[in-house]
Structure 1
């Protein structure tokens, strides 16, 4: 028992030397006395293995105190004495040497102000604990020679975080959460740097991103752009301008959730800049934002999109000097920067040559998307040059590249074919006939026109009559434009207030798809729906000239998706695969044909240059097809389970 008594003495001396409470020391003494009696009764010596078995036995011996946590603490310290001859740091008490210091009056005043501001938040017992945590932190700072919150550094925050390592995670989070609130209060009062509370919050939530976390190439680019960028702002200037931008968003009526997420993105980048003594530059911020470590640790899902949006707005704000809330965020093509240079340069050159042919930008983008599929395939095959592509590769690509419809497959193959011809003309592939190895998957087909049924049309009319909320009123106007005037969703979304001629009850607009000017009479039902929306539901603060605008700040124009969403809300039970809002345009045209309206007149109304595109509306209309059915017997077709008819 001599060794046991020696190790118990090591533990008790440690507790007394560290300044543990007298009750804690007595609890340890009582436990070790009971344990000694147990060992003597069993005539065995103590070992860490016995202590582990003692804790794992359920139910425990009758002599064992009920508090499992306190028992584990006593055994853990005793095991340290047996194994190490001392108590390791993980068992250290939070009672540090500086805990006996008296806070200066400056620090005392800051704690008092903070507690007063939280009187309605914390209970009486919580206030006592909060005061203890804040006091201990400031005593630690005072022991380092800091006499004012403004003198505290990031190094002080990091070292204090390390001093709390002995605590269990939940206890450490509680400690640091209190300090996070306290330092935030000081920062918002102008008494401490903003970065301090951000840093301790990052450590508390384990969401910190340091320069060392970036790949070496990104580190060098971050440092280079920070020091050599064209638009360089100090961290303090970046923070000041960023918070002003957030304030302007709040004044413009942006919802709180968006402004808070935007502010957090600004603060996160400020912390990174200030902690590493870097300066802001738009390119540097872009590298930071798009890095995998930032995406995974700081932003999730839509919060990253919000961060991307506010960084774009900030860049525009500091370069132009004003805020353009309606400015569109540039959208890149996913994956285009992930292919090697030998693959990328000819692709971009081809796309530029297509633009010079005055093709629509969407057409060029579709070319790029299809060719990217081809590029990813040949890269996966191990090729390192377009010159290595042969007919076998194209045959394998044709088999591996799946599409939803044969028509989609044909369109993709035709785009790749054009690119292969371009590669030959540029000397990047020596085979002039290589494109012929990529065939077609389907012959041209005609399909039955899908239109709204009479019951669905009645359901829409009921929806319009009963519309009461702002969203329902806007949906009604959108659907009526498609159903009663045959307008495309893109044209509805871009319709301007000045396009409507109320005096002559007509709408004059330029079609997005054909770039043709169209003048059409406006039915009374459509005019009423639009007028009701403009008078009752369109946001008064909207300065955008689009008829249909977002209900949230900055009240900008909507995308074409609002049309499909409106139809979906009006017909929630409709589920026809591949049939979107365009069904209203098909219904408009088909109904006019059924009512005997001349195709030429319909073509004028819907903006077609001729009646060719209307033929399938007439020839494949189900009611007209039913008038002239073909006999299966004449076609010599067999019915399943029967003889030839």
Structure 2
């Protein structure tokens, strides 16, 4: 059956409602609307009644001419992102993550083929996660584009200067990203040398980044703040019922966002009052207690808030087509409800992971042993859990050793302090 044609006003109205349902700020929605009104004016001028993808392409051609996305200025990229998000929503009922357009990573030529071969080899050897594979594609593609801009098409044409100029092009303010990018580049260059594709081992010239993955203390919210957060949610609405159940899973069980969005009905064993699943991040199987308040909140959402859907996932987007909730939406609802509860954020991070940290801090303050905390958080080793020890100063003080006082005779001996 053909899809119903829509005017741009109809699409904008539906998309604006959707953005508000996932807790985008009114100021953000108004900003998006200002961009979309440009297309509306274009359609009025050209007497176009219905909006679709072809209309946005005509608008881009009229406004930007023949363009390459990556060569646009920030304002141009932003306009393209928001207008493409509009017709993507029209076609799929979803919002693009962060309304960002990510051009496909294309690997052309001999160098591009060698990069793909390297990624395939690393994936087979190390069983890389999706996130790691994404980073390989992202940063090797950037290196390829850098080489293409310099007119370098063959592997043996890559020089020390080309490598160093690429490393300098990575923002020094993004230390985490730079550390990942240079690590991937170093591995690729070592691969080229091992395969005798280049004569020199250029991996040794890739600079190191002095980056500590955990330089700051984890952000946490106190027991009182968590109580205020949960108590402020309007549980009379479908969105409130869903958000309340999600926040309970984050604050009372410390679930990661990836596990919340992947939670299925089959993971809730009602007759045993447990929740069990394989964690998305670690693949480790975990069994957690189905606390009464969590069970009741999920039942309340299922009966009176969850859209009618055949999806096996517990938590869904509010608007059609009612797919499972996205990780970005969980982050949005956490930030929205913290702000709505009037909790002062300060310089703390205030996403879903901060609630997981808060759960760990609560366990530490109750003098829970490290192995039990590791099990509750689903860590693959206690070393990961040690990261959370830094958030509880009192617990750290208990680890301090008593220091014997130095007798006064020490200072009276020959050569002692006077």
Q: Compute the TM-score of the two structures, normalised by the length of structure 2.
A: 0.71
Per the TM alignment, residue 453 of structure 1 is displaced from its structure 2 partner at its CA by: 2.6
Counterpart of 1:615?
Answer: 386
Structure 1 residue 354 corresponds to structure 2 residue 101: no
Contact 1:484 1:588 survives alignment (8 Å): yes
CA distance in 2: counterparts of 1:542 and 1:263, whole angstroms:
30
CA RMSD of aligned residues (A): 3.6
Counterpart of 2:330?
Answer: 563
Contact 1:493 1:560 survives alignment (8 Å): yes
- Which structure features the higher share of helix residues? 1
Gaps of 5+ in 1: 1-243, 270-287, 314-324, 630-645
Gaps of 5+ in 2: 16-47, 66-78, 402-418
Counterpart of 2:191?
Answer: 422
Q: 1:262 to 1:396 in 2, by over 3 A?
A: farther
Counterpart of 2:32?
Answer: none
Q: 1:355 to 1:616 in 2, by over 3 A?
A: closer
Greater radius of gyration (CA):
1
Equivalent runs, 1:65-76 vs 2, <5 Å: none
Q: Greater relative contact order (Cα 8 A, min sep 6): structure 1 or 2? A: 2
Per the TM alignment, residue 513 of structure 1 is displaced from its structure 2 partner at its CA by: 0.6
CA distance in 2: counterparts of 1:622 and 1:532, whole angstroms:
38
Structure 1 residue 406 corresponds to structure 2 residue 161: no
Structure 1 residue 574 corresponds to structure 2 residue 341: no
Q: Secondary structure at the match of 2:52?
A: helix
Q: Secondary structure at the match of 2:321?
A: coil
Tell me which of 246, 267, 275 is aligned to 2:3. Answer: 246
Per the TM alignment, residue 482 of structure 1 is displaced from its structure 2 partner at its CA by: 0.6
Contact 1:463 1:476 survives alignment (8 Å): no
Contact 2:364 2:395 survives alignment (8 Å): no
Q: Deviations over 1:578-599 (max 9, x none)?
A: 5521111111112112201122
Per the TM alignment, residue 289 of structure 1 is displaced from its structure 2 partner at its CA by: 6.5
Contact 1:295 1:304 survives alignment (8 Å): no
Q: Deviations over 1:82-127 (max 9, x none)?
A: xxxxxxxxxxxxxxxxxxxxxxxxxxxxxxxxxxxxxxxxxxxxxx
Equivalent runs, 1:202-601 vs 2, <5 Å: 244-247=1-4, 257=14, 264-265=51-52, 268=54, 293=61, 301-305=81-85, 307=87, 334=103, 336-337=105-106, 340-357=108-125, 358-431=127-200, 433-442=201-210, 444=212, 446-464=215-233, 466-539=234-307, 541-572=308-339, 573-574=344-345, 576=347, 578-601=349-372
Q: Secondary structure at the match of 1:246?
A: coil
CA distance in 2: counterparts of 1:344 and 1:379, whole angstroms:
10
Q: 1:624 to 1:493 in 2, by over 3 A?
A: same
Q: Deviations over 1:142-184 (max 9, x none)?
A: xxxxxxxxxxxxxxxxxxxxxxxxxxxxxxxxxxxxxxxxxxx
CA distance in 2: counterparts of 1:300 and 1:400, whole angstroms:
25
Contact 1:497 1:545 survives alignment (8 Å): yes
Q: 1:370 to 1:449 in 2, by over 3 A?
A: same
CA distance in 1: counterparts of 2:58 and 2:378, whole angstroms:
43
Q: Compute the TM-score of the two structures, normalised by the length of structure 1.
A: 0.47
Contact 2:219 2:349 survives alignment (8 Å): no
